Chains A and B, each alone.
Chain A
Amino acid sequence: MSSIVVVDDDSDIRGLLEFKLSAAGHTVTAEADGEAGLAAIMDVHPDVVVLDWMMPRMSGIEVCLELRKDPSMADIPVLFLTAKAQESDVQRGFAAGGNDYVIKPFSPRELSSRIDALLARTPR
């Protein structure tokens, strides 16, 4: 069992992922904006973070950059889940320290597999 933090300002997506990932046996913490998300990540020290990009207060990119600055959290895998679909956006996502990038609209099943893959790769 792993813990996952989901940060997305869309309540539908938060709800969906909470149900989906809990059904897969993970503990899920969901937050609606970048600042609260960062606080939750610092608090929980999750195994994976699912981050939206465009959010109030703090963008996903900024949250990711903050995480990478902190040595204790620099290794937490980050998966971007965002509507930003241009090639340059994906590049920026990875450049900011993202480990995976999923474009909305997305398939929850696929996302779940990607999270499993990230979990399998990170030593715990």
Chain B
Amino acid sequence: MRDFLESVVIGFNSFVIIYFLALNSLYLVIVLIASRAQRRAQRMSSETALEDLFANPLTPGVSVLVPAYNEEPSIVSSVHSILDLRYPQLEVVIIDDGSTDGTFDVLQQEFELQPSTRVAAGVVETVGTVNSVHISRDGQIVVIRKENARRRGDALNVALEYSRYPLVCMIDADSVLEKDALMHVVRPFVDDPERVAATGGAIRPINGCPTERGMILEKRLPKAWAPRIQVVEYLRSFLLGRVGWSAFNGLMIISGAFGLFRRDLVQQIGGLTADSLAEDADLVNSLHHRLRHEKQDYRIVFVPHPVCWTEVPENLKILARQRRRWSHGLLEVLWRFRGMIANPRYGRMGLLVLPYYVVFELLTPVVEILGLICLPLGMAFGILNWQAAVLYALVAIGYGILLSVVAIVVDDLSYQTYRRWKDLGILLVAAFLENFGFRQLHAFWRLRGLWSGIRGSNAAWGEMPRVGFKETSGASAS
């Protein structure tokens, strides 16, 4: 019995180590690809290209879609900051998604909105009833008041119905954009119009940066450690990770905080999945699915330039809820597109990207938590001596820190976002601290998200009609 237990514990510990070695090595490769791509983009960045984009009367118009639910304090400054963006032709479409506060009243007062009878395009299905449409005098701002359907996807679909430009930009009401943000994400569309289907912008935590009227005055690090650690996290996975996948044309997630899409393609896939928890990842995967299915040559591009800033939770309870939701959402999306996983028909997406997400994103918390349980267990039963246990822990943690350090270094080399010496120090310390407490908590939150996904999924997946779902399941059956 003891022998058996011993071999299980040692075997499992070796498995955990190999798992993390593989995960981190893969990630390191992605990050290295990313840093090369990023450096190249940096050296050939061009102000003249942005100038031409701005001056050209043929530059495609952009509809900025802003779902808003109870955003009374910030919505006016958000809209102002969108209107102030450097872009030649844009409209702002705000969906007041059944707000119970004065979101609509402040908008109406500030922008002198008038009721309109604008016609819905009738191209995607929506759930929540539209009560009224209001537009500003110059027609640049459209506000749609609708019943809340509890999910962001439906609000965005409604916005899609009432907007008119060929490119649609989906953002969060509290996203703060850099002045050139739209130019940077539109550029791939005009430089490679045949292929580019969507672009996403780099997101960074805004906590600690002083802002005024929806503009960042100075880039600073947050004051508390929880958001500081998230800065490192965002640098590592939302910046370098995505640059790497994008260089490989395997970008699976464009953050809902700032993404740009070709309207015709979004319409073709029937808009967003109205009831998805992760409608952003769901949309990008639908595009991959559709375009791979039709054997089209296409690109989904990540723009590494820091363009969008967003508030991250400082409160651990809210952070826990956010991460549970992400984990649940990821499971939902991977489940919906399970027919693509390991399916050679979907090329890299099927053979590499989605399997990576299953093994190294979805299941990481399981392995991590089991590893955490096994170490003390092994020591308690005297199977592992404490030196070995410490070494196991050191390697797992060291690799994690190394990855974060690489991300910090690459960011400092290419963008120098944070200028002060103190900031560099803080980031390095945060990279270290992340691995003691935060990482374990994070694994726990994700595990809980996964669990609620597994429990909730059986009931939910049967009854909800999903656009394009049939095709997927058909592919998996074959």
The answer on direct contact between A and B (beta carbons under 8 Å) is: yes
Most buried by A among B51, B84, B217: B84
Contact residue among B54, B212, B213, B217 (Cβ-Cβ distance under 8 Å from A83): B54
Q: Contacts of A83 on B, CB cut-off 8 Å? A: 51, 54-55, 86
- Residue A57 interfacial (CB < 8 Å): yes
Complex interface residues of chain B between 83 and 110 (CB less than 8 A to chain A): 84, 86, 88-89
Q: Tell yes or no: B215 within 8 A of A by CB.
A: yes
Tell me if A56 is interfacial: C-beta within 8 Å of chain B.
Answer: yes
Please tell me if A54 contacts chain B, counting CB pairs below 8 Å: yes
Interchain CA distance A56-B212 in the complex, whole Å: 9
Given A85-B55, A86-B57, CB of A57 within 8 Å of CB of B212: yes
Residue of A nearest to B57 (CB): A86
In the bound assembly, the distance between CA atoms of A88 and B47 in angstroms comes to: 24
Cross-chain contact B213 with A57 (CB below 8 angstroms): yes
A54/B215 in contact, CB under 8 A? no
Q: Which of chain A's residues has its CB closest to B80's CB?
A: A59
A44-63 CB mask vs B (1 if < 8 Å, else 0) is 00000000001011110000
Contacting residues, chain A, for B84 (C-beta < 8 A): 54, 59
Contact present for B88 and A86 (CB under 8 Å): yes
Q: Which of A86-100 contact B (CB under 8 A)?
A: 86, 92
Interface size class of A (residues with CB under 8 A): 10 to 19
B179 at the interface (CB under 8 A from A): yes
**Alpha-carbon gap, A31 to B179, bound state (A):** 19
- Neighbouring B residues of A86 by C-beta, 8 Å: 57, 88-89
Question: Chain A residue with minimal CB distance to B89?
Answer: A86
Contact yes or no, A54 B86, CB < 8 A: yes
Give the docked Cα–Cα distance between A84 and B55 (Å): 8
Q: Is the pair A56, B215 in contact by a Cβ cutoff of 8 Å?
A: yes
- Chain A CB within 10 Å, residue with most, of B51, B89, B213: B213
Q: Mark B213-226, 1 if CB is under 8 A from A, else 0.
A: 10101000000000
B215 lies within 8 A of A57 (CB)? yes
Residues in chain A near residue B57, CB distance under 8 A = 86
Task: Count how many chain B residues have C-beta atoms less than 8 Å from C-beta atoms of the other chain.
Answer: 14
What sequence of 0s and 1s flags, for each residue 194-223 of chain B, a beta carbon within 8 Å of any chain A beta carbon? 000000000000000000110101000000
Looking at chain B's contact residues, the main secondary structure is loop
- Bound CA–CA A56/B55 (angstroms): 20
Q: Chain A contacts of B212 at CB under 8 A? A: 56-57
Q: Which residue of chain B has its CB nearest to the CB of A88? A: B138
Closest-by-CB residue of B relative to A92 is B138
Kindly supply a per-residue 1/0 record for chain A positions 68-111, scoring 1 wherever the CB is within 8 Å of any chain B CB and 0 otherwise.
Answer: 00000000000000011110000010000000000000000000
Name B85's closest neighbour in chain A (CB-CB): A54
Q: How far is the CA of A59 from the CA of B215 in the complex (A)?
A: 12
Residues of the B chain whose Cβ atoms lie less than 8 Å from the Cβ of A57: 212-213, 215
- Report the separation of the CA atoms of residues A86 and B89 in the bound assembly, to the nearest whole angstrom: 9
Assembled-state Cα–Cα distance A85/B84 (Å) = 15
B376-396 contacts to A, CB under 8 A, are none
Cβ–Cβ < 8 Å partners of A59 in chain B? 84
Q: How far is the CA of A59 from the CA of B86 in the complex (A)?
A: 12
Question: Which chain B residues border A58 with CB–CB below 8 Å?
Answer: 213
Tell me the bound Cα distance from A56 to B176 in angstroms.
Answer: 13
Chain A residues closer than 8 Å to B88, beta-carbon distance: 84-86
Residues of A within 8 Å of B51, CB to CB, are 83
Chain A nearest Cβ from B79, distance in angstroms: 13
0/1 interface trace, chain B 26-65, chain A, CB 8 Å (1 if under): 0000000000000000000000000100110100000000
Whether A54 lies near B54 (C-beta < 8 A) is no
Question: Are B179 and A54 in contact, CB atoms less than 8 angstroms apart?
Answer: yes
Cα A58 to Cα B213 with chains together (Å): 8
A92 partner residues in chain B, CB cutoff 8 A: 138
Q: What are the interface flags for B3-14 relative to A under an 8 Å C-beta threshold, 1 for contact and 0 otherwise?
A: 000000000000
A83 to B48: give the CA distance in the assembly, Å. 13
Task: Give the contacts of B179-194 with A (CB-CB under 8 A).
Answer: 179
Q: For the complex formed, measure the closest distance between the CB of A57 and the CB atoms of chain B, giving whole angstroms.
A: 6
Assembled-state Cα–Cα distance A54/B89 (Å): 14
CB of A122 to closest CB in B, whole Å: 29
**Interchain nearest-CB distance for B51 vs A (Å):** 8
Q: Which B residues lie within 8 Å of A84 (CB)?
A: 88
- Bound CA–CA A92/B88 (angstroms): 13
B184 → chain A closest CB, angstroms: 16
Shortest beta-carbon distance from B246 to chain A in Å:
29
Residues of A within 8 A of B (CB): 54, 56-59, 83-86, 92
Could you jot down 22 A-B contacts, CB within 8 Å? Answer: A54-B84, A54-B86, A54-B179, A56-B212, A56-B215, A56-B217, A57-B212, A57-B213, A57-B215, A58-B213, A59-B84, A83-B51, A83-B54, A83-B55, A83-B86, A84-B88, A85-B55, A85-B88, A86-B57, A86-B88, A86-B89, A92-B138
With A56-B212, A92-B138 known, 17 other A-B pairs at CB within 8 A are A54-B84, A54-B86, A54-B179, A56-B215, A56-B217, A57-B212, A57-B213, A57-B215, A59-B84, A83-B54, A83-B55, A83-B86, A84-B88, A85-B55, A85-B88, A86-B57, A86-B89
